[in-house]
Each structure stands twice: as structure tokens, then as C-alpha cells.
Amino acid sequence: MNIKKYLSFVTGLAFAAVSITSCVQKDEWETPPFNCNNKFPASTMTMAAFKAQAPSSGYILINTDQIIDGYVVSSDENGNFYKTISFQDKPENPTVGLQIEVDKSSNYADFPVGAHIRINANGLRLGTDRGVVKIGAVDPTYAIGRIPAALVSRYIAGVCNGNGLDVATIKPIELANLKLAQDEKYLNMLVKVPNVQFSAGELGKKYIDYQAGAGVDTDRNIVDQSGNATVIRNSGFSTFGATQLPDGKGDLTFVVSRYNSNWQMLIRGTNDVQFTGKRFFFDGFDGNLTDNWIPVSVTGAQIWNIQQFGNPKPCAVMNGYAGSNNANEDWLISKPISLQGFISASLSFETDVRYAGNPLEIYVTENYTGNPATTTWVQLSGVLDTNSGAFNTWTSSGNISLNAFVNKNIQVAFKYTSTTTAAATWELDNVKVAGS
């Protein structure tokens, strides 16, 4: 081929390519937008109005298009929620929460925390099951059954936001203590409580127990700095089950739940447990006496023990009367309490006395020898119950300063004495050492 003809041919091809390219708009080479279409029309009623239809026991069948919106607060990503989705009516300052039963796992992939969902309950049951209002399938065995996996999309769908799923940032309801969280109005809502820690008897344990190598559902006791207690319920299938419980205190975020009348809080994962502060000492005597205490009987057959009285039940009790008054000297000495890093600290407790006898004595030491008689004690003064004519006159000690002992390890003690002529019954509860 003639070189001039060849160059002319190549130049023509290049010009044609440029011409074709110049006719294509930039946007035509980009990925076309993904259109997100809502499966259901807008909600027909508020979640509160929908939930209000639930009977106090049993269930009703929804047989009309009742469509509600909600925001997911649970997550089964870490295995602690099983085939259930908890959701509330708003991502912030919600007024009502519900849960829906689904026979499907890995729901977090379709509906992550914060996902805006829409539910058409037509054909589902709404009722109260084991103390919780739920939505679920018609089932011959269970009052509220699980929606079969193949039918989940018939009833639940995500709500679009532009070209994708609308996912909001969930702001937990901030409550001052665990007692406030134990309220029916917070069921299936996400809450956060400050100054929470695992009870002393739980320290050294993992989130779940194991039997024959398999994880089992496990309750772990938690307590707040006001002395309120409850449990977090951890699934035997949780991926964090083998993780050791943290030994500090801090913020705890959880979905409020209960089983019949028993409150049990559910975390989504260990990120919900932000325990980075210093522990406080608290004992409401819900566990074993020796979890937090060293009981020492110097004189007499009677000893400190736990009884089902308390404020609330139970409490520690010492009584020198057994058919007749007996001489006793019995100490209840705390295990070591660290005040390292504190700039102030105080002791508080509650007492209830019945019958005539010596007052309870309160002490603190920084060098317990193992023998009360050879230990150097500092006696403390606090308000004690003085109404010996009746039980259940619980009296707060007030805050007793321990500032002289900050940055030290201490042990507090309660000394009971009785004689053959006077043996009072002393009840002790809600012992707390806290500081900042």
C-alpha cells in the first residue's frame, strides 16, 4: 500500500473515533441511577395507635391494611437477638416500641440499626406474649408465631430515601438509672443508663456460661450507682459470649425487654458496654454473702446471713436471739475496695432495727490483718434506725465521708454485739462506696 494512502486511512479512522466520542455525553458512560421504590404506600396509622389495639392477654388478627412505620433498634449481627426485630416509632425521643417475629436470621443485612421500615400487618397477629406486645404470624402452636422467611417481604419492607434505604441515626433514650428502665413504656426501645457496672459476683466471668463446650443463654447481674439492679440477657449463640466481662463502670446501652414479669436487657454487642470508669462498691445482698463480704464470728453461735426482707428484698441480717438472748460479737467485713485515683469518696447504707440491744458499729481500715482484734480500725458515724419497736423502718445513713482514705485500698466493717439480756435484730441493705 502507498504510504500516503495508508497515513490518510489511519488519520481518517482517528478523526472518526474522535467524532463519535464527541457525540457521547459524559453521563451516558456512568452507571445509571438505582431507583428505590417503596413497596407499601404511606403509613395509615401511628405505631402507638396500632399497638393500643393489643389486648392485655391473647391476641387479635389484623384483617385490614394497617400500615405503620418504625426504626430498627435491635441487631442480630452478633447473635444476641434471635429471629426477632425490635423497632420504635422515631429515631429520637420515641413514644412506643414493638417487636416482630420472623423465621429468618441475619436480618441486620436487610434492616440494620436505624433502618426505616414499613410494615403492613394485614394477616398478622398482634398480641401480648410473655409480657411483651408483639406482631407475628398465625401459628397453630404459638400465640404469636414467626413469619416464614419466604413471606417476610410480604409484610416488612424498607422505606426509601433518595436512591437507597433510609437509615437514621438512633439516639438512645437517656435514663438516670436502671430502675427507670424497668418500665413497660420502654419495652423494645433503645435506652442508655450511666454509672452501671457488673455486680461483684460476676467479675472474672464471661458474657455467657458454657456447658460441655456449648454456650448457654446466661443472665449477668448489673447494678447502677443508685443501687438499682437488673440483668442483661446474653444468648448462647452470641459471638461475644467468650469475652470476659469488663470490671469498670460506665454507660450501658440496651434494648429493654422482659420475659413474663422478669426484666432482661439486651445488648447488640460489646460496643453497647462502655465501662471505662472506676468501679463503685455496692451490695444489695442479691447474691451470696461471701461475694463481697468476710463474715467473722468472734463470740456466739449466731452469724450474719441473708434473709428475704430488705429494701427491696433481700438484705443482710444479724440476730443474737435464738430461743433466748445470747452474747455475740460478729463482724461483717467487706472485701478490699479500691479508692485509687479518687479525689473524694463516701460510704452509705440503710438499716432497720427491731428489739432492744446495742447499736450497730461502723468501721473502716486500710490494713485488715485477717483478725478484727489485731486490725487498726477507724470508727465512723452514720445515721442508724432508732425505731426498735417495728420492722420495716428503713433508715438511710446519709453519705459518710471517706475522703481521708482516697488513693488507698480500704475495707469497711459492721460490728454487731449482743448480750444475754438484750439482743437486737439488725438488718443491713444497699451498702455503697462511691466517689469521683
What gap in Å lies between CA 401 and CA 412, rounded to an integer?
Answer: 12
Q: pLDDT tens-digit profile of 190-223?
A: 999 999 999 888 989 999 999 999 999 999 999 9
Q: Select from 2.40.50, 1.10.3210, 2.60.40, 3.30.70 the CATH code of 173-278.
A: 2.40.50
Q: How many CA atoms, within 13 angstroms, populate the side-chain half-sphere of residue 210? A: 11
What gap in Å lies between CA 248 and CA 271, rounded to an integer?
Answer: 14
Question: What residues does each domain of the chain span?
Answer: 47-165, 173-278, 289-435
Long-range pairs for 142-151: beta carbons < 8 A, 24 or more residues apart: 143/58, 143/59, 144/59, 144/101, 145/101, 146/83, 146/101, 146/102, 146/103, 147/100, 147/101, 147/102, 147/103, 147/104, 148/103, 149/102, 149/103, 149/104
Give the single-character DSSP code of 185: G
Q: Judging by DSSP bridges, how do beta strands 281-283 and 425-435 pair with one another?
A: antiparallel
Of 262, 278, 106, 114, nearest to 190 by C-alpha is: 114
What gap in Å lies between CA 142 and CA 57, rounded to an integer?
Answer: 13
Q: How far is CA 404 from the centre of its chain?
A: 34
What are residue 62's phi and psi, to 5 degrees? Answer: -85, 120
Radius of gyration of the chain (CA): 32
Q: pLDDT tens-digit profile of 86-122?
A: 999 999 999 999 999 999 999 999 999 999 999 999 9
H or E element: which one contains 14? helix 3-22
Contact 359, 384 (CB under 8 A): yes
What gap in Å lies between CA 54 and CA 161, rounded to an integer?
Answer: 31
Q: What is the pLDDT of residue 435?
A: 87
Cα angle: 301, vertex 307, 313; to 5 degrees: 160
Would you place residue 305 in the very low, low, confident or very high pLDDT band (cuts 50, 70, 90)?
very high
Contact 339, 364 (CB under 8 A): no
pLDDT above 60: residue 338: yes
Q: What is the pLDDT of residue 28?
A: 44
Neighbours of 184 (CB within 10 A): 10
pLDDT above 90: residue 415: yes
Q: pLDDT tens-digit profile of 374-400?
A: 999 999 999 999 999 999 999 999 999
H or E element: which one contains 20? helix 3-22
Cα angle: 94, vertex 96, 98; to 5 degrees: 120
As a whole number of Å, the end-to-end CA separation of the chain is 94
Q: What is the pLDDT of residue 312?
A: 86
Q: What is the pLDDT of residue 24?
A: 43
Q: How far is CA 409 from the centre of its chain?
A: 29
Q: pLDDT tens-digit profile of 36-82?
A: 789 999 999 999 999 999 998 899 999 999 999 999 999 999 999 99
Q: How many CA atoms, within 13 angstroms, populate the side-chain half-sphere of residue 280? A: 26
Using a cut of 0.75, tell me whether the model's pTM lies above it: yes
pLDDT above 90: residue 14: no
Of 219, 345, 347, nearest to 286 by C-alpha is: 219
pLDDT above 70: residue 318: yes
Mean pLDDT along residues 414-434? 97
Q: What is the pLDDT of residue 405?
A: 97
Would you place residue 35 in the very low, low, confident or very high pLDDT band (cuts 50, 70, 90)?
low
pLDDT above 60: residue 21: no
pLDDT above 50: residue 245: yes
pLDDT above 90: residue 144: yes
Mean pLDDT of the chain: 92
pLDDT above 90: residue 33: no
CATH number of 289-435: 2.60.120.200
Would you place residue 227 in the very low, low, confident or very high pLDDT band (cuts 50, 70, 90)?
confident
pLDDT above 70: residue 327: yes
Q: pLDDT tens-digit profile of 277-294?
A: 989 999 989 889 998 999
CATH number of 47-165: 2.40.50
Say yes or no: do domains 47-165 and 173-278 share a fold. yes
Q: What is the pLDDT of residue 29?
A: 45
